[in-house]
Amino acid sequence: MKLTLHTFKLTTLSLSLTIILAGCNAKLTTDQVAVSKKITSPAQTGSFGDQGDGTYINPILNADYPDSDIEQVGDTYYMITSKQHMSPGMPILKSKDMVNWSNVGHAFPKLSWAPEYNWDRMNGYSFGTWAGDIAYHEGKWYVYQIDYQHGLMVTTADNIEGPWSEPIMMLPKADVLDDPAVYWDHETKKAYVIINTGAKQKSSNNKIEGNENRIYEMSWDGTKILDEGKLVYTGMGAEAAKIYKIDGTWYIFMAQWTMGDKSTKPGVKNPKNDRKQLVLRSKESIYGPYEVKTVLEKGSEFNNRSASQGGLMKAPDGSWWYMHQLIQNDDIPFQGRPQLLEPVTWVDGWPIIGVDEDNDGIGEPVKRYKKPINGHPITAPKSDDDFSSAKLGPQWEWNHNPRDSHWSLTERPGWLRLKASKVLPNKEGHGPKINEWTNNDGSDGDFWRASNTLSQRMMGITTGTAVAKFDVSGMQPNQLAGFVRYGGVFNLLGVEMDKKGKKHLFYMNGMSEKTLGPELSGDKLFVRTSNARNQATYEYSFDGKSFKAFGPTFTIAFGKWTGDRLGFFSWNEKEDAGYIDIDWFTYDYDGPKAAR
């Protein structure tokens, strides 16, 4: 059940890419890389997360893990975060100390409730799984979320690792906008969900600018709505509510925009605008009346990024803590919406999040702080993979639901096989709309309509190097396949087989402009990509020893609420034909990695 107390110096990135990351030389040969995967190595620290000395540096999850919610069961904290159209959807992580997080799985094995998320449509960009709520009630797990295109839904499981049920639809999209959160009140035996209904039910009598937030009563099993809801708060961009009952007092945590510059709308990049964390407090009823106080705002540590939306936690020593995201509200290149951990201090019955650095009674995010709980090892979400398992690792997600007949971990054991499907037609109902997904009009490119692109999150924003080994012997004419970096824009390095059967290296930018490289005479290709801050490059090798740069230095961009990702693509311009095999993938970055 819900808790009832319910001097980085940027160096120039040269084409030689002689980057050393946490003692791991990016110039390792592939033989050395393969060996290193089999050798036990100590846990790694870096520019964020656990520092190994009883302190942590924010963000503790410096990657695209947005819209967090957290549930504590026993001595373990469980977190969900959204990821739009990626499949499987709604990642689940766990932690023993609130700082070190590892993978559990996903709450939605497929985005099964709508056809636009399938591989043969791929026009669910920007939608899918949004901010949700995770809860544990009477031995069962619940994950709630609102798909903006379809409505409120819940999936359940007896075990946090699944299997998870098919989603149960609870309210239609006509009534709700986003961000549900639930609460079971064991004193009254009533269950509730609070939802941002936006302006969808707003009457002319409500003159307050902004979103309406309503509380609905649910059935005790958490799967049915029992009433028409009651309005409890309206505010500019007000959303992401969480309900807590602490010592008999009701608290609703809620994010809200303030507009310093009326020339742009909420969500549009403008450093003059801010998103703050509010708390509503009532000693009378879950329905109020409520007092309202701002308890967290952007401070000096994160270059004016807005800070809000997350979950409250309690440590064994009785201290309170808050996990929340940063909003990309300016041009400094955080790659997505990372997670920060803040101490919580209670003042006159109000939770002040972070540290009040300007003494105005409102908290601001901390950069470095003591850990809430000591004695647990450094860990992190998975990254490296040798594809030796019969099951795809939880770090990987598909761009829309995959075509399952066109990928395999068993046809060639120890390798990931990606078969090429014919790229979807460039017409209505397929792929993204212009400017809906990419940052420019390159959204009509083939990449966005090519099924079975597989990727994982970029980690950190300082330096990182990923390497993968490919076998391209299975390619067929008109096929393109290889390595991709993408978020709001894409950059590819791969192999194209022309209609005569010749294979050439190519680089492609987000406008689908292609640069051809040398012809391949063999079947092996090694691709290495490195970044320093938001500047990245590609290198290739045919023997795994001598790497050469190919293509320009390019900018990896946060766009459409998504940070950069690393992965693989394979499509065919004419027919379903050809495949590539990936032997292994390694990723070293300037942040925590578990002992291995």
Q: Compute the mean pLDDT over every residue in the chain, rounded to the nearest whole number.
A: 90
Condensed to tens digits (0 to 9), the pLDDT of residues 8-22 reads: 323 333 333 333 333
pLDDT category, 44, cuts 50, 70, 90?
Answer: very high
378 touches 595 (CB < 8 A): yes
Condensed to tens digits (0 to 9), the pLDDT of residues 94-119 reads: 999 999 999 999 999 999 999 999 99
Rounded CA-CA distance 257/210 in Å is 9
Amino acid at 558: F
pLDDT reported for residue 230: 98
156 touches 142 (CB < 8 A): yes
The most confident of 94-103, 267-276, 587-596, by mean pLDDT: 94-103
Number of Cβ atoms within 10 Å of the Cβ of 262: 8
> What's the gap between Cα 395 and its chain centre?
11
pLDDT reported for residue 2: 46
> What are the structure tokens assigned to 217, written together?
């009563």
Q: State yes or no: pLDDT of 359 exceeds 60.
A: yes
306 touches 240 (CB < 8 A): no
pLDDT category, 595, cuts 50, 70, 90?
Answer: confident
Rounded CA-CA distance 234/211 in Å is 5
Cis peptide before 432 (omega within 30 of 0): no
pLDDT reported for residue 180: 98
Phi, psi of 32 (to 5 degrees): -65, -40
pLDDT category, 527, cuts 50, 70, 90?
Answer: very high
pLDDT reported for residue 266: 54
Q: Identify any residues that bridge with 370 across adjacent strands, giving them in sequence order.
A: 55
Higher pLDDT among residues 348 and 559, named by residue: 348
pLDDT reported for residue 75: 97
Q: State yes or no: pLDDT of 195 exceeds 50.
A: yes
Span 264-273, average pLDDT: 62
pLDDT reported for residue 434: 72
pLDDT category, 302, cuts 50, 70, 90?
Answer: confident
pLDDT category, 169, cuts 50, 70, 90?
Answer: very high
Strand runs labelled E in 405-498: 407-408, 416-419, 421-422, 454-457, 463-471, 479-486, 490-497
> What are the structure tokens assigned to 285, written together?
């009823």
- Containing 30, the helix (H) or strand (E) segment is helix 30-36
Rounded CA-CA distance 116/164 in Å is 21
Rounded CA-CA distance 569/333 in Å is 25
| Class at the top of the CATH hierarchy for domain 51-370 | mainly beta
pLDDT category, 253, cuts 50, 70, 90?
Answer: very high
Q: State yes or no: pLDDT of 164 exceeds 90.
A: yes
Q: State yes or no: pLDDT of 507 exceeds 90.
A: yes
Condensed to tens digits (0 to 9), the pLDDT of residues 204-239 reads: 999 999 999 999 999 999 999 999 999 999 999 999
Amino acid at 65: Y
pLDDT reported for residue 150: 97
Q: State yes or no: pLDDT of 270 exceeds 70.
A: no
143 touches 154 (CB < 8 A): yes
Number of residues in the chain: 596
pLDDT reported for residue 274: 82
Q: Find the Cα–Cα–Cα–Cα dihedral 461, 463, 464, 465, rounded to 10°.
A: 150
pLDDT reported for residue 559: 74
**How would you label 317-335 residue by residue, b for 16+ Cβ within 10 Å and e otherwise?**
eeebbbbbbbbbbbeebbb
Percentage with pLDDT > 70 across the chain = 89
Closest CA to 150 of 119, 129, 180: 129
Beta strand pairing call for 565-572 and 421-422: parallel
Q: State yes or no: pLDDT of 384 exceeds 60.
A: yes
| Rounded alpha-carbon distances, angstroms, from residue 377 to 54, 95, 186, 247, 413 | 11, 10, 36, 33, 32
Rounded CA-CA distance 99/58 in Å is 9
pLDDT reported for residue 441: 67
Rounded CA-CA distance 10/7 in Å is 9
Least confident among 38-52, 172-186, 353-367: 38-52
Domain ranges for the chain: 51-370, 397-589
Q: State yes or no: pLDDT of 81 exceeds 50.
A: yes
pLDDT reported for residue 435: 67
Identical fold at 51-370 and 397-589? no
pLDDT reported for residue 18: 31
Condensed to tens digits (0 to 9), the pLDDT of residues 118-159 reads: 999 999 999 999 999 999 999 999 999 999 999 999 999 999
Q: State yes or no: pLDDT of 318 exceeds 60.
A: yes
Q: Which CATH number applies to 397-589: 3.30.1330.20, 3.90.340.10, 2.60.120.200, 3.40.720.10?
A: 2.60.120.200
pLDDT reported for residue 27: 35
CA-atom Rg of the chain in angstroms: 24
pLDDT category, 319, cuts 50, 70, 90?
Answer: very high
Span 316-327, average pLDDT: 95
Rounded CA-CA distance 519/254 in Å is 56
Side-chain-side CA neighbours of residue 527 (13 Å): 30
Number of Cβ atoms within 10 Å of the Cβ of 511: 14
